[in-house]
Structure 1
Amino acid sequence: MYYRTTYSSPVGTMTLACDGDHLVGLWLDGQKYYGGTISGEMMEKSCIPVFKAAHNWLDSYFAGERPAISQLPLAPIGGEFRREVWGILCEIPYGEVITYGDIAKRMAAKLGKDRMSSQAVGGAVGHNPISIIIPCHRVVGSNGSLTGYAGGVQTKVKLLELEGADMSNLFVPKRGTAL
């Protein structure tokens, strides 16, 4: 059984999902792949302790603080490859960005391979079920393109600005999947 609640944020209403003990989802309304990792119905139930902890974490984050991801019991649902990529996302410091190619190199080394497809990494990043907390918004194209954010490129910009990221070498693509 999965439970859900909502959170009103400066970037829009979010739905949070849990299994009772662990946060398993956080999606912006209208986000691509919204609820995609949850099979079955989610029952509305706001009084679960993990939701209170997540709300407090998000309050701190949107107040410009830098709460630790480790403060929350996360259990994103996905295959081993995706979970490994999401683990790398959790290591990206606030206000910093990493490229899909950089993650691909790290994954290749982890898996003992010569190389790894940036597109495979992009698929894992794009299907991150716990947006913002697992910071997929900190991943950019190799040329500084703010591409590939399931919550929309303008949300990605707002989150990076909130974190104080250096935006001088980053740009919004004129065309692409982020728009």
Structure 2
Amino acid sequence: MSCKRCNGTNFQRDDATGNSFCCGCGTLQEYDNYEAQLGGVRGPQGTYIRVGTTGTGSVLAYREKKIFDAGNLIDDIAERLQLGERSEEIKRMIGKITDGEFGKGEWFSLLIGACCYALVRKERRGGGVLTMDEIVGVVGCDLHQLGSMCKRVVEYLGLELGEFDLVGLFVKTASGSPRLSGVDGKKKERVMKQGGF
């Protein structure tokens, strides 16, 4: 055997890798420590390759990463919808629907939005109102898709949704309206009272 770089024949074995290197130029000699697998699967093991270890843990790592990423997405969407304190309840709902597998992709964001809507309607949180339009703006989906997903979530979980708070919706819309931003405070309050009535 001669060095592939300088054609020298004086070699030493590296203790750490087990590979030979040329004493003349220091070039590492590749593949000189290969041990053939003789005797089938139960035969001796090679230096770097172990029979049956390829892919060990890859399925678990993928599942754990998917669940971790899903949890982050739920937290993000819940926070943007001002439901950050309710994200654990949303995770429980989604976990029940997906049998703890969660998910990824556009359909999963849609499912998160539907669960947020169902949670707010079910609890009628402090008179607060969350419209489907707000969810569509945060999730970035189609309104009809969201409505269909909400219906499926409510049916699957067997939820009883409270009535929609029209007065709360009016107050929220009017107070955030750019048209009323320049209106005097007393006049704005009067508009709110009349609209609520």
User: What TM-score does the superposition give when structure 1 sets the normalisation length?
Assistant: 0.27
Q: Which has more strand, going by share of residues?
A: 1
Q: Which has more helix, going by share of residues?
A: 2
Higher RCO (CA < 8 A, seq sep 6+)? 1
